[in-house]
Amino acid sequence: MEYTVKALAELAGVTPRTLRWYDQKGLLKPRRTTEAGYRLYGREEVDRLQTILFYKELGLELEAVREILDAPGFDRLAALQSHLAELETRRRRLDALILTVEKTIDETKGGTPMLDKEKFEAFKRRAVEANEEQYGKEIRKKYGDETVDRANANVLSLSEEDYGQWKALGEEIRSALSAAVRENEDPAGKEGQRVAELHRRWLSYSWETYTPQAHRGLAELYTADKRFTAYYDQEVPGCAAFLRDAVRIYTE
């Protein structure tokens, strides 16, 4: 079966303009074009459009989607299985948040009081799962499953106060890094070493045992892995490299 632009747009819940834009960007080409100039889409294009919309739902930019789909080794089944795993993780997060809100509403109405720990359980679990999804593979390869599992357990066991301090410290580190790079500070200088010390304190909330070697190894990942780099450099480029260099000196 073949679909015109209008028919496929109605089927997929997008606009004809979107399909024309996908064609222009090389993301979704029609199967063929009639002599009258009508774009026609077949089964392969329908499946590709579904995959595009899956990736968009996960928040990927169109250029990134195109690169993934056009990669020589692209495996649609593997991609679908990955989508499913991601959506199931999101559902677990949402279920946990819904449960927390329901308990909070019940308590507010005079029902069963919540433990302070319960009020923040969903947020801590979300932070752990997000970190695991984005960096888990590399961190587990570097430090081992047991170490990472213990670190995750430490975060989940944080008290309300400690959890708040941990999050605030992370934001302070990012802010200090941005300022240091803008001011062209020296990683070996007073401010650079203060940032490295803040980073050590931040790690202490999840690490059972601190060692300079492990600290330095993690900092090296910040420039070796582009995802770490993107996280630290999202406001000011160079922050990841500054932190790496500051930690190198701090741990000597």
40, 30 Cβ separation under 8 angstroms? yes
* Residue 218 Cα to chain centre, angstroms: 18
98-124 tens-digit pLDDT:
777 777 787 788 887 765 566 566 666
Residue 244 reports pLDDT greater than 90: yes
User: Please, what are the domains in the chain?
Assistant: 3-70 (1.10.1660.10), 115-250 (1.10.490.50)
- Which amino acid type is present at position 175? S
By C-alpha distance, which of 251, 240, 233, 250 is closest to 188?
Answer: 250
Please, what is the angle between helix 160-182 and helix 116-143, to 10°? 50
Residue 147 reports pLDDT greater than 80: no
186-240 tens-digit pLDDT:
999 999 999 999 999 999 888 878 899 989 998 998 998 888 898 899 889 999 9
For residue 131, name the pLDDT band (cuts at 50, 70, 90): low
HSE (CB half, 13 Å, CA atoms) of 162? 15
- Over residues 1-12, mean pLDDT: 94
More confident residue, 87 or 52: 52
Residue in this structure with the two tokens 């600290």, named with its chain if needed:
215
Determine the 3-state secondary structure of 3 from DSSP: strand
63, 70 Cβ separation under 8 angstroms? no
Output the CA torsion sign for 157, 159, 164, 170.
Answer: negative
- What mean pLDDT is reported for the chain? 85
Q: What is the pTM of this model?
A: 0.49
What's the rounded Cα separation, in Å, for the pair 47 and 208?
A: 47
Residue in this structure with the two tokens 């692209």, named with its chain if needed:
74
> In degrees, to the nearest 5, what angle opens at C-alpha 114 toward C-alphas 110 and 117?
160
Residues 6 or more apart whose Cβ sits within 8 Å of residue 31: 2, 40, 41, 42, 44, 45
184, 145 Cβ separation under 8 angstroms? no
Q: Which two tokens stand for residue 198?
A: 């803040």
